Amino acid sequence: MKTTGRVNGIISNIVIVKADGAVGQNEICYVYAGDTKMMAEVIKVVGDSAYVQVFDSTRGLKIGDKVEFEGHMLEVTLAPGLLSRNYDGLQNDLEKMDGLFIERGSITDPIDFDAEWEFAPLAKAGDKVTAASWLGEVKEQWVSHKIMVPFTMAGNYTVKSVAAAGKYKVTDTIAVLTDEEGREHAVTMVQKWPVKQAVRCYVEKPRPSRMMETGVRAIDTFNPMAEGGTGFIPGPFGAGKTVLQHAISKQADADIIIMVACGERANEVVEIFKEFPELVDPHTGRKLMERTIIICNTSNMPVAAREASVYTGMDSTSRWAQALREMSNRLEELPGQDAFPMDLSAIISNFYSRAGLVKLNNGQTGSVTFLGTVSPAGGNLKEPVTESTKKAARCFYALSQGRADSKRYPAIDPLESYSKYLEYPEIREYLDEHIEKDWVDLVYAGKTLVQRGKEANDQINILGDDGVPVEYHERFWKSELLDFVILQQDAFDDIDANCPLERQKMMYKMVLDICRKDFAFADFEECSQFFKGLINLFRQMNYSEWQSEKFEGYRKQIEEYVSEKIK
C-alpha cells in the first residue's frame, strides 16, 4: 500500500510533508493542489517529516493538501521510440503538450505505446543471460536498438523462450526467463531505470583509448576528446558555447546524440527545435534528428526541474549548481564558497564519473562521452562551479571573451584550454597509429608557438612596433598564422565547418613547417604584409573542397609565396 501524507509547510517549491508511513530519500511523490497533480522528489527526511522539491509552481498549494508517495525514484522509460523526440527534464514529450506554455501538472507518455516495431531475436531458448544481455534488436530509424534483459534483474537467468521475428508493441512479452529458483519472468521491450543511479551492468570499465573525432580543429588537433571521455566548455554569455555544442553534436563520431538545452536562453532552444530536424547528418546523409534526442528545460521553468533534468541529460552545470544552491539554502544547510553546497565538488565528480568506455557481457564495447557547459558569472573561470568541474572533467575548453569580441571563433583559448588525454599512453598510442608517429610532440610544438607569440605581442604592445627587433614581429605573426588557419573555423561554411582528420594533419604540418623557417624581412611592416597575404591564401584554402583542383592550386601558390621570402 502506498504511503500518504499531508502538506505541513511550504517554502517556495520546497514542501514539508507529514508522512504516515516509511519514506525513502529521492523517492518520487505527487502533491495535489486541488485537482492538479504535481510531481515532486524527497530530498531530506527528518523523523516523520519529508522535505520534497516540487517540479512545478506551488502557487495555490495549502497546508493539509494530500501527498502520495510512489515507492520508487525518478525514473526514465527506456524502449524503442526514444529517437527523434523532444523531452523536458522529466521525460514528458513536449510535442504532445498543448499551448505555448507547459500547463502545471502536465504529464505525457514518453513513447508511443501503441506503435509496432519489427523485432529480430538474438538469443535462443537455453541461453544463459544476466542483466543487460541482448535478447533481440529493433531497427529504430536506421539505428539498431538492442532489447536487453532489464538492468534491475540481479543474478543469472536461463532463456525459456524468445518471440519469433515479427511486429510487436513495446509492452508485448518478447522473452520469458527462468531464474535459479525456477520462477519465470516475462520481459518486454520497455524497462524503467532510476536516473540518479548509474547503470553498472558491464564487465569492465577501462580507460578511454580512442580519440573521438569532432571535425573542429581547435579540439581535434590541439586538445583532443576521447571516446568515453569527459570535457566541459566554460565561457561568458555570448562567447559561442551553444554554437560549439551544435557543431560537435552534428559532426562528432558518435552513434546517438543526446542534445540537452536545459537552462539555455529560450531563443536558442527554439533554434535547436527549428534547426535540428532540417540538418543533414554528414556521416550518413540522412536527417540528423533520426539519431538525436533533445531534452529541453528553459531558464523560466522552476529551478527544481533543472536540478532533476541534469540526470536525464547533461546540461549547463552552472544552472544545475544554482539549483543545488537554492535547494541547499532553503534546507538551511551550511553554505560553502559563494553559498554553493559544501559537497559541490563531490556532486559534480559523481555525475561526470558516469561517462566512460565499457566492455559488455558479450565482449562488445560501448561508450558514453560527456561534454557539458558552464556559464560563470562575468566569465570568471575561478568561481566554484568551474573549479569543481575542472577536477572532474579531463578536457577543458575555455572560451575567451577577448577572442569572441575579436570574432576569433570558436573562441577556445589555446593557452587556457587543455586535454589531459594527451598524457594517456593509450591515446598517444592511438594518435601515433592513426595520425602520425610522435603526433603529441607536434601538438606541444604548436602550443609553444602560440605561447611565444603571445609573449612577443606583449613586448610589442609595451615597447611599440619600432622598439623591438623584427624577430619579435616574426614570432608574433607565426602564432597568428597558426591561430587564423588552425584554431579559427567557420561553423556556417559547408566545407570549413567539418574538417576531416586527414585534412587537419596536412594543414597543421604545413603551417608548422612554415613556422620553422627563417625569413628575411627588412622591417616589421614587410613582415606583417607578408603574413597577412599568407593568412589570406590559407583561409581561401580552408574554404576549398579537400584535395580539389582549387585546393591544390592554393597549396602551390602558398609554396611559391613562402619560397620567395626564405633566407
Distance CA 514, CA 198 (A): 49
Query: pLDDT at residue 419 above 90?
Result: yes
Q: What is the CA radius of gyration of the chain?
A: 27
Which range, 54-63, 320-329, 538-547, has the best average confidence (pLDDT)? 538-547
Average pLDDT for the chain: 91
Q: How much is the average pLDDT of 523-535?
A: 96
Residue among 137, 172, 132, 181 at smallest CA distance from 152:
132
Q: For 148-195, how does the pLDDT look when each residue is reduced to its tens digit (9 = 90+)?
A: 999 999 999 999 999 999 999 999 999 999 999 999 999 999 999 998
Structure confidence at residue 146 (pLDDT): 95
pTM of the model: 0.91
Give the tens place of pLDDT for each residue, 387-401: 999 999 999 999 999
> Would you say residue 265 has pLDDT above 60?
no
pLDDT at 66: 96
Each residue's pLDDT tens digit, 356-369: 999 998 999 999 99
Q: How many CB atoms lie within 10 A of CB 378?
A: 8
Check residue 130 and give its pLDDT.
Answer: 95
Model pLDDT for residues 209-243, shown as the tens digit of each residue: 999 999 999 999 999 999 999 999 999 888 988 88
In which band, very low, low, confident or very high, does the pLDDT at 310 lie, cut at 50, 70 and 90? low
Cα–Cα distance, 184 to 159 (Å, whole number): 10
Predicted pLDDT at 127: 95
With bands split at pLDDT 50, 70 and 90, how would you rate the model's confidence at 303?
A: low
- pLDDT tens track for 277-302: 888 888 888 888 999 998 886 544 55
Question: In the structure grid, which three cell numbers stand for residue 490, read together?
Answer: 567557420
Looking at residue 225, what is its pLDDT? Answer: 97
**pLDDT recorded at residue 322:** 82
> Distances in Å between the alpha carbon of 365 and those of 6, 355, 361, 362, 449?
48, 13, 9, 9, 38
- Summarize the confidence of residues 501-508 as an average pLDDT: 97
Least confident of 78-87, 325-334, 425-434, 489-498: 325-334
What single string gives the DSSP state of each residue in 291-307?
Answer: GEEEE--BTTS-HHHHH
pLDDT at 466: 92
**pLDDT band at 495; cut points 50, 70, 90:** very high
Per-residue pLDDT, 262: 64
